[in-house]
Amino acid sequence: MSNAWTESFSTLAKNLRPSAVSGLFKAIKNPKMISFAGGMPAPEVFPIDKFAEGAHLLKDRGSELLQYGTATEGDSSLRSSLIKFMAPRLGRTVDMEEILLTTGSQQALDLFAWAMFDKGDAIITEEPTYMAALNVFSNHGAQAVGVPCDAEGMMVDKLPALIEKLRGEGKKVKGIYTIVNFQNPGGMTMTVARRQKLAQIAGEYGVPIFEDDPYGYVRYEGEHLPSIFSFDKAGNTLYAGSFSKILSPGVRIGWVCGDREIIRKMSAFKQSTDLCSSPITQALVAEYCEKGYLEQHIPVIADNYRKRRDAMEESLQRHMKPLDVTWVKPEGGFFFWLKMPGVDCEKLMTICLEKMVAFVVGTAFCIDPEAGRNYCRLNFTYCKPDKIEEGIRRMAEAIQSLRK
């Protein structure tokens, strides 16, 4: 019909391909589909009653909540609650000027990218990593450069040589992006020794760190580890959190903590992108936190998801281990990352969708898609254990039929 649009699109828009995930979104709406695809919390664990206690706010504070937010940085009582909540993890109580609330932690990535990247700048990430972070970096003209990972997380010893190589090529290294706990998609957690080392390298080389931690509070066993932020005496680390996995994605609230200068820049870009986040959802979450419900709820989530993780681990042992599939058992978070030697994950996906099981192909998480060719990411938090067993059984069947 209209050519004015298609002829006028930006280069980015012209080159947009439907993402691996957006196609999936339609498939997983089929209620018969067993979905290991999305990073979605289980609806059964939402604290609906306690959250809904805040409903009175719509009336009692209506004239304030229906208005524009008074601060781009977000609701001050929610910021105060988060500052207390995070102090053990961050090693100190940050100031009010060191925290910014965002419209989900996805927005934190976008604002970080606005503040940091000129076209052609480099950002170092784990490989594999969160696909939507790769999209943001790429949209903003940055080049993501991957560092391999093992069961202890990003292999940080490789960083000095990589930074020097990139600088030798004339590139500016604008950040190191890491998902420290129960990595997406890898499932592994960076060891304390590597966190310390990473903070030290960032300090020596003057490279900022984006420490993304949406899953960190969802731990099934073992001790919480101190953040990179807590080891970083130079103030080079921006720590990002989210309510999506510990309370609700629907509230669309994430946060970032760090140096005042970067917080101020991100806040300025927030004004251009959505002015402010909703005072309504912020007030609901603030009251929920002030009542102490968040701390009470986290163990409930962990207990529920631990069972699901264990169910998936057992099903994998039963059906996948005989097929030479390998993985790191995650101590928390949402995902298993399966290595399937000799299996093309995109072909596997096609067969699995016919069998009504969905997952995300490994290629989606890799800067070099070929690096993810033999991998799949499986979410275990959304499905109940009986579905998990059935889904893994079907996937194993699909692998066998592919190998024939």
Smallest gap, in angstroms, from Cβ of residue 323 to a copy of itself? 32
Distance between CA atoms of residues 192 and 222, nearest Å: 13
Smallest gap, in angstroms, from Cβ of residue 13 to a copy of itself? 4
Smallest gap, in angstroms, from Cβ of residue 207 to a copy of itself? 6
Distance of CA 183 to the CA centre of its chain: 8
Span 208-237, contacts to a copy of itself by CB under 8 A: 208, 234-236
Say if residues 176 and 207 touch (Cβ distance below 8 Å): yes
What is the chain's length?
404
Span 288-327, contacts to a copy of itself by CB under 8 A: none
381 secondary structure, DSSP code = S
Distance of CA 354 to the CA centre of its chain: 28
Q: Compare residues 136 and 357 and give the one whose CB is closer to a copy of itself.
A: 136
Span 170-209, contacts to a copy of itself by CB under 8 A: 172, 174-175, 202-203, 206-208
Q: Does 15 bind a copy of itself (CB under 8 A)?
A: no
DSSP-derived pairing of the beta strands 357-358 and 34-35: parallel
Query: Dihedral of the CA atoms 353, 356, 359, 361 (nearest 10)?
Result: -10
For a copy of itself, what does the binding mask look like between residues 34 and 53, x meaning CB under 8 A?
----x-xx-xx-x-xx-xx-
Instruction: Point out which span in 57-65, 183-191, 288-296, 313-321 binds a copy of itself (CB under 8 A).
Output: 57-65
Q: Find, among 168, 172, 179, 125, the residue nearest to 147 by Cα.
A: 125
Smallest gap, in angstroms, from Cβ of residue 222 to a copy of itself? 28
Q: Does 23 bind a copy of itself (CB under 8 A)?
A: no
Smallest gap, in angstroms, from Cβ of residue 15 to a copy of itself? 11
Q: Compare residues 107 and 315 and give the one whose CB is closer to a copy of itself.
A: 107
Instruction: Point out which span in 149-157, 210-218, 274-282, 331-339 binds a copy of itself (CB under 8 A).
Output: 274-282
Q: Compare residues 48 and 151 and give the one whose CB is closer to a copy of itself.
A: 48
Which tokens go with 242? 């989210």
Smallest gap, in angstroms, from Cβ of residue 209 to a copy of itself? 9
Distance between CA atoms of residues 158 and 176, nearest Å: 12
Q: Compare residues 85 and 288 and give the one whose CB is closer to a copy of itself.
A: 288
Span 93-112, contacts to a copy of itself by CB under 8 A: 103-104, 106-107, 110
Q: Which of 76, 77, 80, 135 binds a copy of itself (CB under 8 A)?
A: 135
Q: Which of 181, 227, 281, 363 binds a copy of itself (CB under 8 A)?
A: 281
Burial 345-378 (b: 16+ CB within 10 A, else e): bbebbebbbebebbbbbbbbbbbeeebbbbbbbb
Smallest gap, in angstroms, from Cβ of residue 105 to a copy of itself? 9
Q: Does 259 bind a copy of itself (CB under 8 A)?
A: yes
Place of tokens 């439907």: 18
Span 137-176, contacts to a copy of itself by CB under 8 A: 139, 172, 174-175
| Cα separation values, 22 from 30, 131, 132, Å | 14, 12, 11
Cα-Cα end-to-end distance for the chain: 47
Say if residues 40 and 393 touch (Cβ distance below 8 Å): no
Which tokens go with 132? 């939507």
Q: Compare residues 20 and 353 and give the one whose CB is closer to a copy of itself.
A: 20
| Residues paired with 326 in a beta bridge | 339
Place of tokens 């000027």: 97
Q: Compare residues 225 and 253 and give the one whose CB is closer to a copy of itself.
A: 253
